[in-house]
Structure 1
Amino acid sequence: MRQKSSKAAICSIPAYCLRGIGCRHILIGGGGGSAKTGVPNQIQLFLLGYDSNFDLQKGIYESSNQMVARLSDVVDTGQSASMNMDCISLSDEPYYGRFLIVAGQDEFCALYETKHFSLSEMDGVVNFDRRFDAPSNLSFHVQELVRIQTDKHPGDDSYQKCVRLFRAGLDCNSPLKMATAGTDAFVRVWSIANVLRNVRTKNSFDRALFESGSVPVLRDVTPELEICTKSTSVDDLDVSPSGDVLATVLPDQTVLWDLSAFGKRLAEIPTRENGSEKALSNKFKVRSLRFANLSKNGTEINFVTAHNQRIRTSNEISFLCLWLFERQKGNCRMVGTKVAFKETVSCLELSECGRFSAVGSMGGSVALFDTLSLSPLSVLRQTHCSFVTALSFLPQRSCDVKDLGHIGETISHNLPSKRCFLPGICADFRCALVSVSVDRTIQVHQFPFPTQSSFSAFLFRLSILTSVLYVLLWTLFA
């Protein structure tokens, strides 16, 4: 069984960021920016499913195994395109449909909240014939809460480059926080509770950017923690599953920080001028970093980095590296490294379990790797016409069905308090991945479980081999 890749939908906007929300929806942000090109700036919500059409009056039903994405809601973001995004559940019971969405728009970070599920009558943006009546799409009721100025770089080139939502602990009830960084080279950690408290008390609002005046802008909110990286900018960041270690990707170095000790510097990824690891030489730089949920104890933290050439050449090459940070020793060492592409990496994403790593390239390729061994599982060459802007893994289980399919009391930082055994929309596959690009296509890549030879096939091959050996021996000694 080979991997399946399908064009699930075509966006009406260039897509720059992607996040999964719930068990069957994805969020896509992008647009034309502040330039008056006629391309709107939006956050689009898509419902993933299979291409099923039915007519209740005629009793006609058709279904296929083609994965499609139907547009179920659109959020207008004004004159700013969303360039980075994150999403997290506000409740340990996902069937309530309450999520927090954050999106970087220029020097601001916009916060949105979904109150509950709803039904949408919007037509899906899909390249398939609609011969039957399409049902209403399951959607969310999205409300914009506030915009916060998170980057204060002087001049017109101030913008937020990365954002992460996380909880300060493994419990679903742990305090919710947000880490932002951008062109001013500061990492700011915000308490979501304090931000929302500022909204409710209506402090220091600037409504000049909004015609309706209904959404406040907070310019002078004090973050809970501010880290000066002493660099020119922060290109990427991520937070460990336990919520106490933050990693920053800077132009000249990659640093780990201790959030539980007021942003204390923990370690730096080593570089080697004459070592055997080519990815650590000064000819390469870290493009992106993601923590892997692999270690069972809090003293060892794994993460994956993607490395690109500092100066692009005709012989392009990029690497993936797996790292282990030993907190007690304060030591950061490489576990393994492999070639990712003969191309330049554009984005990196890890599955929630941490076992799979996905990489997108500037040439439009998508590759899946085993995180522990960094061995390539599948490579889809130039599946997009242009560079891949974002990737997102789809969940294997459906956690949003109340009172059905829940066992145990296992608690995770962003999963429900009870483990779910109901299959997800891609449960027939080992894992499933969504990719977006500036070519405006949404693609779903489904990777099958490894096939094993049956016992009968083994006996058949054994009989063939035995027959061949018998003929050879009979020919030689007859």
Structure 2
Amino acid sequence: MPSIRRKEDGLLARVNFPLYAVQMLTSRHVLVAGGGGSANTGVANGFEIFELSHDGEQFVAEEVIRHETGPVVVMNCATRNSGRKCFLVAGQESHCQLYTVNIKVVNVHENNIPGHQHLTNRNTKNDSRKKNPTKLGGEGNRAVKKNKDADGKTQNVDSNGNSYQKLQFEIKPNDSVQTDFSEKEPVQRVVRISHSGKLMATAGTDGYVRLWSFPAMVKKLDIQAHSKEVDDVDFSPDEKWVVSISKDGTCVLWSTESGKKVGELKWPSAGEAKYLFKRCRFGVAEDRESPSRLFSIMNPVGRSGRHKAYLQLWDPSEGMLKRDVSYAESLSALAVSDNGRFVAVGTMFSGSVSMHVAFSLQRVLYVKEAHSMFVTGLEFLPQGLNGPPITSTAEAAVLSISVDNRVCIHSLPYRSSVPLWFAILLIIAAMFSAFLFCNYMGL
């Protein structure tokens, strides 16, 4: 039986434009992107970065910085943090724009807080943090002392004498390259950066998958992958393959060295229903030595109410379907946790979010109607990516976004290692053994 929504989960932040992309920038900072398009609607286009923390009761978010992109909506993006440099790439119509994200660590002095506008959440009205405020730096459960630094300024420190520190961000546009060359309406639909940060894949309406060296943005391969526009791409963990799915109904594996086809996923759907792949994501095996896993979501074409949608687990080396689970409505978003343990999906019509165990596809969390409209993106909180993970009471947590302008979070409580039925059986066995022992001893 999957867990239901926890009372401390739900709305994390709200922006004033529709959201289409979500990426973790550091282990504690999330970037969301979207916009209202080029029409004169008054709806902005761009990015917002939020700092996440846990105050002992709930996840909280503070707005860090906002960057607007003028008349160009951001429909897809990817981030790369090497520890020393941070990069952001975003699809803007037919081009891919590279941004350099400069990060500066600053000590937070009580005297200087008003000078750092990004430290204050703009939406503090009726915020639970007014009653139980989170300490600066996202460490709300640490005791606070006040020390003098070398300049004589008052400084907030914890019980160990460590100063509170914050990250300042500055987003600067850099190179831009054209990635789609469709004659009718060239648009980049997707961009992904490989695990090592050395490769970038782009794809769009012209059906090509293009590989680029990163962050140099120099093209390496043109792969004539599909006859229709590409919906999604992803790199395998070892970066030997890139997988692509398209509205032509195919899901194909390509060599990142030669650009040649190395495999294709084929699913013999039951009956006369036609299905299309919607999203695809690789996931590492938990032991890190077993072959990688490939997850996909597949939707029926036409009236989805008559046919089910599917979350699928594949063996990519064999092109074989290992497991699948069905959904009563079409699926719109897919994400895999960086430790390979969980996979999450979002739905098209009800705006619901589910979390599954990766190897078995057992559903362990279901959040009905997390959003008022379809889920456009999902992203797991990382476990140690570019810094320590956020300490919380959850085994896993996933962020979700939608065109309803909301950023939400959904967490899975730590599960018991012993099933309830087994624990009850052990208690009964212990009581029966105690009765037999007492009877034997004549007690």
Partner letter of residue 184 of structure 1?
D
Distance 1:181 1:463, change over 3 A: closer
1:336: Cα distance to partner? 1.1
Distance, in Å, in 1 between the alignment partners of 2:333 and 2:117 is 33
Distance 1:452 1:386, change over 3 A: same
Q: 1:271 aligns with which of 267, 273, 286?
A: 267
Conservation of the 8 A alpha-carbon contact between 2:338 and 2:383 = no
Distance 1:233 1:272, change over 3 A: same
Partner letter of residue 236 of structure 1?
D
Q: Does 1:184 align with 2:206?
A: yes
Q: Does 1:346 align with 2:332?
A: yes
1:69: Cα distance to partner? 1.5
Distance 1:237 1:65, change over 3 A: same
Q: Does 1:29 align with 2:25?
A: no
Q: Does 1:385 align with 2:380?
A: no
Distance, in Å, in 1 between the alignment partners of 2:100 and 2:192 is 16
Q: What residue in structure 2 maps to residue 165 of structure 1? A: 193
Q: 1:48 aligns with which of 48, 52, 55?
A: 52
Q: 2:61 aligns with which of 69, 77, 95?
A: 69
Conservation of the 8 A alpha-carbon contact between 1:102 and 1:110 = yes
Write the mapping of 1:75-474 to structure 2, written as runs, cut at 5 A. Answer: 75-89=67-81, 91=82, 94=83, 96=84, 98-117=85-104, 120-122=116-118, 123-126=120-123, 128-129=126-127, 131=130, 138-155=167-184, 157-167=185-195, 172=196, 176-195=198-217, 223-251=219-247, 252-260=249-257, 262-272=258-268, 283-294=274-285, 300-315=291-306, 317-326=308-317, 331-339=318-326, 341-362=327-348, 363-397=350-384, 399-400=386-387, 422=388, 424-451=389-416, 458=424, 462=428
Conservation of the 8 A alpha-carbon contact between 2:5 and 2:366 = no
- The unaligned stretches of length 5 or more in structure 2 are 107-115, 138-165, 436-443
1:141: Cα distance to partner? 2.4
* Residues 89-135 of structure 1: CA deviation (Å, up to 9, x unaligned): 2x3xx3x4x21111111111111112323564134244644758995
Return the TM-score normalized by structure 2. Answer: 0.79
1:34: Cα distance to partner? 0.6
Conservation of the 8 A alpha-carbon contact between 2:97 and 2:176 = yes
Distance, in Å, in 2 between the alignment partners of 1:374 and 1:464 is 34
Return the TM-score normalized by structure 1. Answer: 0.74
Secondary structure at the residue paired with 1:37?
Answer: coil
- The unaligned stretches of length 5 or more in structure 1 are 52-63, 196-221, 401-421, 470-478
Secondary structure at the residue paired with 1:462?
Answer: helix
Distance 1:311 1:113, change over 3 A: same
Distance 1:435 1:139, change over 3 A: farther
Distance, in Å, in 1 between the alignment partners of 2:430 and 2:214 is 67
Secondary structure at the residue paired with 1:314?
Answer: helix
Distance 1:133 1:19, change over 3 A: closer
Distance 1:349 1:31, change over 3 A: same
Conservation of the 8 A alpha-carbon contact between 2:305 and 2:328 = no
